[in-house]
């Protein structure tokens, strides 16, 4: 378990307080980050804060500004910003409970593991966990961290519980903005049956370890090759020209494609990349 918790405090359910510790449930270890390097010297590039027409400026002369219109800003002192920060509280009040499927997936942002802070808290912790599981409910509250209030949900997860930071309503775009123009027509029954059969055949337990970011894996392999080469030399790797997406003008019949995917045969799809031969244009007679 990590040495330092993201948050320590109490989860409060009516008159019951449960001491807990919260730890991040995710990590960014898979990402590959780069620094910009000055090639002649091999040193990293730094960025100076400059003003157009003035040049580099002193950090003491920099304020935070909120743009209210093009080129017009409201300037704020750091102590003014600090004064409106929410006081960090060590209590998370569960003020409401909702059905487990009532929260749209768009609102979920980041998960955290919640564990009892000590042996004395384990019994109350287990009661809350099992009560949420039995009722199939999710607890809601607002967590004060680093001067801000975060909307969070609490739900059971195996032997423990998971707290998930939720986005506020003004941070989520309404789905109707994008889906309003889609037709209300229902899918063709025969095609729907074929699609369902394909889904049934490919249904299996979720094993996240079987999925990898192939781009990140390729970057790591490239970096390993670079490390083994002499310093300062470049490696030119041969890259396979794989098409990024579907090319050509061939249109595959949807029903035939579904039948083929479902293993029911059907009309054979035309070969990819082969366009029908064009007729030779008639030669124009000279005047």
What is the structure's pLDDT at 257? 78
Which has the closest alpha carbon to 113: 205, 13, 27? Answer: 27
How far does CA 274 lie from the centroid of its chain? Answer: 38
> Domain count of the chain?
2
Both 22 and 124 in a single domain? yes
Is the per-residue pLDDT at 235 higher than 80? no
Where a domain ends, among 118, 150, 171? Answer: 171
Q: pTM of this prediction?
A: 0.66
Q: In the predicted model, what is the mean pLDDT of residues 222-245?
A: 59
Instruction: Please tell me whether residues 119 and 258 are part of one structural domain.
Output: no
Q: Are residues 20 and 134 in the same domain?
A: yes
Euclidean distance between CA atoms 61 and 63, whole angstroms:
7
Q: Are 12 and 109 in a shared domain?
A: yes
pLDDT score for 29: 66
Q: What is the pLDDT of residue 273?
A: 46
Q: What is the pLDDT of residue 63?
A: 87
Q: Is residue 62 part of a domain?
A: no
Mean predicted confidence (pLDDT) in 267-276: 46
In contact, 32 and 220? CB cutoff 8 Å: yes
144 and 195 share one domain: no
Residue 217 inside a domain? The answer is no
C-beta neighbour count of 127 within 10 angstroms: 13
Query: Tens digits of per-residue pLDDT, 178-202?
Result: 888 888 888 888 888 998 998 999 8
Q: Are 258 and 123 contained in the same domain? A: no
Judge if 160 and 259 occupy the same domain: no
Residues 152 and 196 in one domain: no
**What is the domain extent for residue 159?**
7-26+85-171
pLDDT of residue 164 exceeding 90:
yes
Same domain, 156 and 90: yes
In a domain? residue 188? yes
Specify whether 193 is located in the same domain as 132. Answer: no
User: Does residue 79 fall inside a structural domain?
Assistant: no
Q: What's the chain look like in SS3?
A: CCCCCCEEEEEEECCEEEEEEEEECCCCCCCCCCCCEECCCCEECCCCCEECCCEECCHHHCCEEEEEECCEEEEECHHHHHHCCCCCCCEEECCEEEECCCCCHHHEEEEEEEEECCHHHHHHHHHHHHHHHHHCEEEEEEEEECCEEEEEEEEEECCEEEEEEECCHHHCCCCHHHHCCCCCCCCCHHHHHHHHHHHHHCCCCCCHHHCCCHHHHHHHHHHHHHHHCCCCCCCCCCCCCCCCCCCCCCCCCHHHHHHHHHCCCCCCCCCCCCCCCCCCCCCCCCC
Confidence of residue 231 (pLDDT cuts 50, 70, 90): low
Which of 40-54, 99-113, 133-147, 233-247 is least confident?
Answer: 233-247
Q: What is the pLDDT of residue 127?
A: 94
Q: Domain containing 131 — which CATH number?
A: 2.40.290.10
Q: What is the CA radius of gyration of the chain?
A: 29
Residue 158 and residue 190 in one domain: no
Query: Nearest to residue 262, comparing CAs of 194, 204, 203?
Result: 194
Whether 73 maps to a domain, the answer reads: no
| Cβ neighbours, 10 Å, residue 82 | 9
Is residue 211 in some structural domain?
Answer: no
Distance CA 199, CA 80 (A): 56
Same domain as 98, residue 149: yes
Q: How confident is the model at residue 140 (pLDDT cuts 50, 70, 90)?
A: very high
Tell me the pLDDT of the chain averaged across its residues: 80
For residue 132, tell me if it sits in a domain.
yes
- pLDDT at residue 90 in the model: 86
Asked if the model's pLDDT at residue 69 lies above 70, the reply is yes
Assigned domain for 136 exists: yes
Q: What is the pLDDT of residue 261?
A: 77
For residue range 7-22, what is the model confidence (pLDDT) as tens digits?
A: 999 999 888 889 999 9
């Amino acid at each position: 378990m990590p040495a330092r918790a993201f948050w320590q405090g109490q989860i409060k359910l009516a008159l019951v307080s449960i001491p807990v510790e919260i730890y991040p449930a995710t990590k960014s270890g898979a990402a590959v980050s780069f620094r910009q390097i000055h090639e002649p010297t091999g040193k990293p590039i730094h960025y100076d804060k400059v003003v157009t027409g003035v040049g580099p400026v002193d950090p003491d002369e920099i304020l935070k500004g909120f743009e209210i219109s093009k080129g017009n800003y409201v300037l704020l002192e750091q102590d003014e910003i600090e004064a409106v920060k929410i006081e960090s509280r060590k209590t998370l009040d569960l003020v409401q409970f909702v059905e487990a499927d009532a929260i749209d997936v768009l609102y979920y942002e980041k998960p955290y593991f919640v564990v009892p802070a000590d042996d004395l808290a384990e019994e109350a912790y287990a009661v809350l966990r099992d009560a949420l599981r039995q009722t199939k409910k999710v607890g809601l509250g607002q967590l004060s961290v680093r001067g801000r209030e975060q909307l969070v949900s609490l739900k059971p997860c195996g032997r423990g519980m998971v707290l998930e930071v939720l986005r506020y309503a003004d941070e989520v775009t309404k789905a109707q903005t994008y889906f309003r123009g889609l037709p209300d027509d229902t899918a063709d029954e025969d095609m729907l049956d074929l699609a369902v059969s394909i889904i049934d055949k490919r249904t299996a337990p979720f094993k996240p370890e079987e999925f990898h970011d192939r781009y990140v894996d390729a970057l790591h392999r490239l970096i390993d090759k670079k490390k083994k080469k002499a310093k300062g030399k470049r490696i030119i790797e041969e890259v396979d020209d794989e098409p990024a997406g579907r090319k050509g003008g061939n249109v595959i019949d949807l029903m035939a494609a579904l039948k083929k995917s479902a293993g029911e045969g059907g009309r054979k799809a035309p070969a990819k990349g082969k366009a029908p031969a064009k007729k030779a244009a008639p030669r124009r007679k000279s005047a």
